[in-house]
């Protein structure tokens, strides 16, 4: 069942991505409904897959790159549904769902073994710290997609190119607002993820901070998003400058998630 539900998840996310890319170039209300339906079906099988693995493992299935990336995608889709419900911008899925599909496809290249939970992870901090971090990263992933939409719309405005896509993308003010709200939502989660991680580290290793690569890059990511909020609130920054920094922030998220685990030696590498 675990293999079947994961394959069905891949199939539905892939199909949703293809339909979403078609929607970018061809306006159709019917396509928007198909995208939402397919993404709900994919999310349903994805949820079932995670539940199956939860009972098989006996803990939240985020140990190992396959399971962690899969859960990351699940959080992205969950936040996407919230954005879809709140703003009702149908074309948003055409930019967000390809990111989710690429990540779930990447997850399929990693080992899918059932790992025993390392002793250091057998703590009540485990679920709290992990959940906070993944929710933050999911919000930043969608802020990245919104940022790409913003840059496209701005490009059309500068070139005075009135294309079908230009007409269907939200205006720059709305995109800027959504990007800001997502970062404002994700930042406290990242902050508490770092704080709970430090408390957990003190309990496990005897110190709050060890300058481990994962800790360093998490701090870099935190500083990047803190800078965005500071510049927006204190300096009144908005628009392209803030959007570009948010895109850089998500690159930092990806390096913290993939780069540190795959390229660097870290105390946080558990069964890659």
Same domain as 145, residue 31: no
**Model pLDDT, residue 269:** 59
Same domain as 263, residue 166: yes
Residue 126 domain-assigned (yes or no): no
Residue 55 domain-assigned (yes or no): yes
Same domain as 32, residue 109: yes
**Model pLDDT, residue 146:** 94
Same domain as 173, residue 76: no
Q: Which of 117, 151, 174 is the last residue of a domain?
A: 117
**Model pLDDT, residue 209:** 73
Same domain as 268, residue 154: yes
Same domain as 260, residue 155: yes
Handedness of CA 57, 60, 65, 70 (dihedral sign): positive
**Model pLDDT, residue 29:** 66
Residue 123 domain-assigned (yes or no): no
**Model pLDDT, residue 271:** 54
Structural domain span for residue 263: 135-272
Dihedral angle at the C-alpha atoms of 8, 14, 15, 18, nearest 10 degrees?
180
**Model pLDDT, residue 159:** 78
Q: Alpha helix (H) ranges present in the chain? A: 2-25, 29-57, 65-87, 92-107, 125-158, 164-168, 172-205, 213-233, 240-254, 260-263
Same domain as 139, residue 49: no
Residue 10 domain-assigned (yes or no): yes
**Model pLDDT, residue 56:** 83
**Model pLDDT, residue 270:** 53
CB 218 within 8 A of CB 257: no
- The tally of domains found in the chain comes to 2
**Model pLDDT, residue 267:** 59
| Rg of the chain over all Cα atoms, to the nearest angstrom | 19
**Model pLDDT, residue 227:** 92
Same domain as 102, residue 6: yes
Same domain as 2, residue 49: yes
pLDDT mean values, one per 10 residues, the chain (272 residues): 90 93 76 88 95 86 88 95 88 90 92 73 82 95 94 84 74 91 95 90 74 87 93 81 91 90 66 53
Same domain as 144, residue 206: yes
Q: Which of 184, 169, 177 is nearest to 92 (CA)?
A: 169
């Amino acid at each position: 069942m675990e293999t079947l539900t994961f394959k069905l998840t891949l199939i539905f996310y892939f199909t949703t991505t293809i339909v979403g890319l078609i929607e970018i170039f061809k306006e159709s209300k019917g396509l928007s409904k198909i995208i939402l339906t397919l993404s709900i079906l994919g999310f349903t099988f994805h949820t079932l897959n995670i539940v199956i693995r939860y009972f098989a493992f006996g803990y939240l299935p985020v140990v190992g790159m396959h399971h962690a990336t899969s859960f990351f995608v699940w959080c992205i889709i969950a936040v996407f549904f919230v954005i879809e419900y709140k703003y009702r911008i149908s074309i948003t899925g055409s930019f967000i769902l390809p990111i989710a599909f690429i990540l779930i496809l990447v997850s399929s290249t990693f080992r899918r073994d059932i790992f025993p939970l390392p002793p250091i992870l057998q703590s009540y901090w485990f679920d709290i710290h992990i959940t906070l971090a993944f929710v933050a990263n999911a919000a930043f992933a969608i802020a990245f997609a919104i940022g790409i939409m913003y840059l496209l719309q701005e490009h059309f405005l500068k070139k005075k190119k009135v294309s079908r896509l230009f007409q269907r993308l939200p205006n720059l003010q709305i995109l800027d607002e959504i990007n800001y709200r997502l970062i404002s939502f994700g930042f406290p989660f990242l902050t508490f993820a770092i704080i709970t991680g430090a408390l957990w580290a003190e309990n496990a290793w005897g110190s709050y901070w060890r300058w481990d690569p994962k800790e360093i890059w998490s701090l870099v990511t935190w500083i990047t998003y803190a800078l965005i909020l500071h510049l927006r609130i204190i300096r009144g920054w908005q628009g392209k400058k803030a959007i570009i920094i948010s895109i850089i922030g998500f690159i930092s998220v990806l390096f913290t998630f993939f780069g540190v685990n795959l390229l660097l030696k870290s105390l946080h590498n558990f069964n890659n």
